[in-house]
Every structure is written in C-alpha cells, then in structure tokens.
Amino acid sequence: MRVRHKSWAKPYIESQPTLIVTDAEAWAGKWDQRFAKKQPLHLEIGIGKGQFIIEMAKRHPEINFIGIELQESVIAVALRKLVESQLTNVQLVETDGALVNTLFRAGEIDKMYLNFSDPWPKKRHAKRRLTSSTFLGSYREVLKDGHQLEFKTDNRGLFEYSLISFNQFGTNFEYVSLDLHDSPEQADNVETEYEAKFSQNGPIYKIVINFKT
Ligand code: SAM
C-alpha cells in the first residue's frame, strides 16, 4: 500500500512523543514502562491506518498493544485515530518490522499479528514477505515460547507461500481457515481497513501458529 506524502505527518508525529516512539531500540526490555498498566504485550507489524489495533485495544483493555508501521504518512493516520480514541494501551512505532528483534528482548511479546501484509508477488522479492524465514526467526526470538502469531490475508499466493514457510520453519498450526468470513470465528473477527475494503472480492484466509519450544 503506497500513499501520497502527507506534509503534516512528520510534525504531527513529533508532537505526540507519549504515543509514538522514535527511539524504539532504547525501549527494548522495558516497553511496560510506556503503558499505564503492566499487562500482556501484543504486537502488530504493518498496522496501516490502525483500524485493527485500535479496535482490539478498545475490546481488550487488559492487554497492551504495540503497532509497527514503515510508512510515515500511514502511521500518522493511525496516530490521529489513537489520539481521538484516548486509549492508554496502545503505543506506535514508525520503523521496519525487520528490526523487530532489536526492538524487543527475547520473550517480551505475548502475541503477534500480521494482517494483509504486502504480498511481494515477484519471486526475487520473496525475502521481503513478512512470513519469510528470516522474519519468522526474529518473531520466534521476541515471542514467549509457545505463544501465537495470527496471520490474515486475502492474497492466495501469499497464503500458500506462508503455509509452506510456517511448515518449513517447524511451527505448530493451531488454526487454518480458507474462508474466515464464512466460519464460526467470524463472530470475533476484528476487521482491518484493508479487509473491510476488499473482502467482497474473495475469501479471507487465516492461519494461527505457535513456535515449537
Ligand atoms: N494491516 C493493514 C490492513 O490490513 O488494513 C495494512 C495492510 S497494507 C496492505 C500493508 C502495510 O504494511 C502497509 O501499510 C505497509 O507500509 C506496511 N509494511 C510493509 N512492510 C513493512 C515492514 N517491513 N515493516 C512495517 N510495516 C510494513
């Protein structure tokens, strides 16, 4: 997802240092200190405009959420929603998810989410996919042993690639859906912006894995 440059994004981000982190590596091992309460920590990579993480945080005040997003003009929109929501259990980080194992200490994260990650369809770009083995290695480091990663996509190619990648990495599959919106789990599903926009075009795939200990 590419969006037009927003000139207000940078100064707005700089004006909200309590909600969005620019020196993320400095917080490794002490993310709890950035939240009102010490409680389980969930991480979403590639939050886009933040609909999912903000709705999850509203439904789950007993959980702290961290959202990572690469693009300044996109995370600024999520930040605006976060400010309006007045939630105290969300922190945003403008950075590359590839750095995740430098931002968190081993086992600091209780659960992870990847929603509608960029598919990078060309084979030569496969390593950029957020479900490629290098990324999985970093996720395993920061996730507590045996804890879950949830992955949703509407992209069949990325879904098929990810199934193989998760399998080759040796993860446990806890749940697989070939059509989330036509399954009982839909009742608890929190939609992302992308999902709301594109789910009429075809099925939404979902996989929940954990890393074997
Ligand atoms: N998750 C949102 C949704 O479902 O509406 C956004 C989906 S959009 C297709 C993918 C998002 O992931 C984009 O906003 C993109 O900037 C972000 N992204 C892609 N690669 C990333 C990376 N390595 N680290 C952090 N964010 C990334």
Is the pLDDT at 196 greater than 70, yes or no? yes
* Confidence check: pLDDT of 2 > 80: no
Pick the catalytic residue from 23, 110, 118, 179. 118
Ligand 1 pocket mutation pick from 71, 73, 139, 154 by most atoms within 8 angstroms of CB: 71
Reported as a single tens digit per residue, the pLDDT across 176-186 is: 999 999 999 99
State how far the Cα of 81 lies from the Cα of 162, in Å rounded to an integer: 31
Catalytic (active site) residue 23: no
Residue 1 scores a pLDDT above 90:
no
Note the pLDDT of residue 213: 72
For residue 9, give every residue at least 6 positions away whose Cβ sits within 8 Å of its Cβ, in sequence order, or none: 72, 73, 75, 76
Whether 32 lines ligand 1, by a CB cut-off of 6 Å, is no
Ligand 1 within 6 A of 96 CB? yes
Determine the average pLDDT of the residues in 39-44: 98
Ligand 1 touching residue 114 (CB < 6 A): no
Centre of ligand 1 to C-alpha 168, Å, is 24
Encode pLDDT of 100-131 as tens digits: 999 999 999 999 999 999 999 999 999 999 99
Query: Can you tell me the distance from the alpha carbon of 126 to that of 124, in angstroms, rounded to the nearest whole number?
Result: 6
Please name every residue paired with 150 in a beta bridge, in sequence order, or none if there are none: 113, 208
What mean pLDDT value characterizes the chain? 96
Could you tell me if the CB of 162 is within 6 A of ligand 1? no
In 3D, which of 175, 165, 177, 176 has the Cα closest to residue 140?
165
pTM reported for the whole predicted model = 0.97
Name the CATH superfamily for 40-211: Vaccinia Virus protein VP39 (3.40.50.150)
8-37 pLDDT, tens digit each:
999 999 999 999 998 999 999 999 999 999
Locate the domains of the chain by residue range.
Answer: 40-211
**C-alpha to C-alpha distance for 75 and 199, rounded to whole angstroms:** 23
For 76-93, write each residue's pLDDT tens digit.
Answer: 999 999 999 999 999 999
The span from the CA of 144 to the CA of 166, in Å, is 17
Q: Burial code of 195-208, b = ≥16 C-beta within 10 A, e = fewer?
A: beeebeeebbbbbb
User: Helical H runs in the chain?
Assistant: 9-14, 51-59, 72-85, 100-103, 133-142, 156-169, 193-198
Q: Which ipTM did the prediction report? A: 0.99
Q: Hey, which of 118, 138, 190 would you mutate to test ligand 1's pocket, going by the most ligand atoms within 8 Å of its Cβ?
A: 118
Asked if residue 44 lies in contact with residue 65, where contact means CB atoms within 8 angstroms, the answer is yes
